[in-house]
Amino acid sequence: MNIELLSEDKQSNRKEFMNNEAKWPEHTEEGQTCYNAATCFTLNRKQGLHTNQKIDDTLLSYLNTCKREIIMEIPLRRDDGSLMPVKAYRVQHNNARGPFKGGIRYHQDVDLAEVRNMANLMTWKTALVDIPFGGAKGGIAVNPKELSEHELRRLTKALVAHLGPNIGPHIDIPAPDVNTNPQVMSWIFDEYSKLNSSTSPLAVVTGKPVELGGSIARLEATGRGVAIMLREYCKYKDIDPSSLRVAIQGFGNVGYYAAKIISLELKSKVVGISNAISAIVNPAGIDIEAAKAYEDEHQGDLSGFSGAKHIGRDDLLVIDCDVLIPAALSHAITREVANKTTAKLVIEAANAPTTAEGNAVLHQKGIFIIPSILANAGGVVASYFEWTQNLQQFYWDYEHTVAELDKRMVKAFWEVIAVSEKHGIGSRQAAYFIALERVAAAALLRGF
């Protein structure tokens, strides 16, 4: 195991710090993407926007740099007795506002750069929705579909042992991400509780099953947050949601619940959905529950679903619609997609689904963007509820959980609108502006 611990306060380490900067696109022109503190700040400064915090280059470098990066090689004992070395990462970006927080993904393409970028996004997301966490992310470079359940359990438990004292209820709290689920979170809790005598071991990880201290409504929380964004946008623009046609890329946890809540509660028409292997459209609106049942019965293939027409998977992104919701992958909205879309609103349910070029085109076309650090924050807000309930051993019911989630998401949406209108900037820049101010304030108060 190679654990690289970066000093938090030694100026002599500044050069090492600089090597750990997140490498998201750094375009600083209006309409470009600003995914990190430096990009946001440069853009703000260029436009003469004054921040309340004294942000100098040293603070900026600190805010842009991951505090700790843990690179592990885990020997996985396969069912046939052989050993397979597996690369794993945990990157802790910033904890000025509270313990590090962020998911763990299992995917063959996971690498340090991706985990670093995602950790960075988590810092701004938790700050924007004003919950007392910092940002982190983890990943194991493995295709979980090629492992048996026993192997997955051994690998997960080995990860916890390798992470050792670097996770904990008040240190760093992992959660599910791509290809990890409540079962994986249960194994993390179990291994942690065996290795540690913490008084509240349940709070070491969120996204657990309800039977093991998980929060009611955690599963639907990210999709519900996306639907709340659409509802508030309609209030802002004085639009009747039932008049809107919505296209959703990705029909997994986020996409499915977003589609379900948008069609059932907002009465908007979900006119197109897609998954990794198929896409379907129906201008009259798709019956979401029927499509889900069909997908489950047909190993994910929606193409034969009788309630809609089958189209090419990627054509979903450019169908005729009013609202486009990418809820699958990063970088789905390219320049080409942005040029072709008829949508007036993009709700970024996936993490960083818009390329810098796509973002510029959306901006030129005057398309309203609800950025991912706001749009998909419902999941981490529900994780915060789970963590507090685990610490207090006092549990909320469904209605209370959903009402609290609603309250937090609504507050964040209108704060972004207020800053956007006050400074005449786009919603993405406004979201990062707020988050940057909050993290900078905490860092300065602590004497970072």
Subset of 151-210 contacting ligand NAD (CB under 6 A): 177-178
Q: What is the CA radius of gyration of the chain?
A: 21
283 forms part of the interface with ligand NAD (CB under 6 A): no
Q: Among residues 113, 276, 418, 445, which is the contact residue for ligand NAD, using CB under 6 A? A: 276
Element spanning 83, H or E:
strand 83-94
User: Rounded to an integer, what distance in angstroms lies between the CA atom of residue 295 and that of residue 273?
Assistant: 11
Active-site entry in 67, 101, 125, 137: 137
Give the rounded distance of the alpha carbon of 43 from its chain centre. Answer: 23
274 forms part of the interface with ligand NAD (CB under 6 A): yes
- Residues near 415 by beta carbon (within 8 Å), at least 6 away in sequence: 434
120 forms part of the interface with ligand NAD (CB under 6 A): no
Closest approach, Cβ 219 to ligand NAD, in A, equals 8
What is the side-by-side strand order in the sheet with 2-5? Answer: 2-5, 68-77, 83-94, 135-140, 100-106, 172-176
From 181, 168, 169, select the one nearest 208 (Cα to Cα).
181
Q: Which is nearer to ligand NAD, 310 or 423 (CB)?
A: 310
Count residues contacting ligand NAD (CB under 6 A)? 22
| The residue to which tokens 């049942």 are assigned | 293
126 forms part of the interface with ligand NAD (CB under 6 A): no
Q: Which is nearer to ligand NAD, 28 or 275 (CB)?
A: 275
Q: Among residues 123, 206, 275, 354, which is the contact residue for ligand NAD, using CB under 6 A? A: 275
Full DSSP string of 257-286: HHHHHHHHTS--EEEEEE-SS-EEE-TT--
Closest approach, Cβ 347 to ligand NAD, in A, equals 12
Tokens of 211: 């039977």
Tokens of 43: 């853009």
User: Rounded to an integer, what distance in angstroms lies between the CA atom of residue 58 and that of residue 60?
Assistant: 5
253 forms part of the interface with ligand NAD (CB under 6 A): yes
Q: Which is nearer to ligand NAD, 92 or 376 (CB)?
A: 376
Q: Which is nearer to ligand NAD, 63 or 377 (CB)?
A: 377
Element spanning 124, H or E:
helix 112-128
Mind spelling out the 3-state secondary structure of 298-310? CCCCCCCCCCCEE
102 forms part of the interface with ligand NAD (CB under 6 A): no
| Residue number of the CB atom closest to ligand NAD | 252
Q: Among residues 135, 250, 371, 426, which is the contact residue for ligand NAD, using CB under 6 A? A: 250
What x-and-dash track marks residues 327-366 binding ligand NAD by CB under 6 A?
Answer: xxx-------------------xxx---------------
Subset of 213-232 contacting ligand NAD (CB under 6 A): 222
Question: Stretches 53-61, 229-237, 323-331, 400-408: which one binds ligand NAD (CB under 6 A)?
Answer: 323-331
Strand bridging mode 323-326 / 83-94: unpaired
- Cα 179 to Cα 101, 220, 270: the distances in Å are 18, 16, 25
Is residue 423 within 8 Å of residue 433, measured between CB atoms?
yes
Q: Which is nearer to ligand NAD, 38 or 281 (CB)?
A: 281
- Cα 131 to Cα 235, 408, 415, 441: the distances in Å are 25, 9, 14, 14
Catalytic annotation present for 10:
no
254 forms part of the interface with ligand NAD (CB under 6 A): yes
Active-site amino acid positions: 137
Which residues lie near ligand NAD (CB under 6 A)?
177-178, 222, 249-255, 274-276, 313, 327-329, 349-351, 376, 379
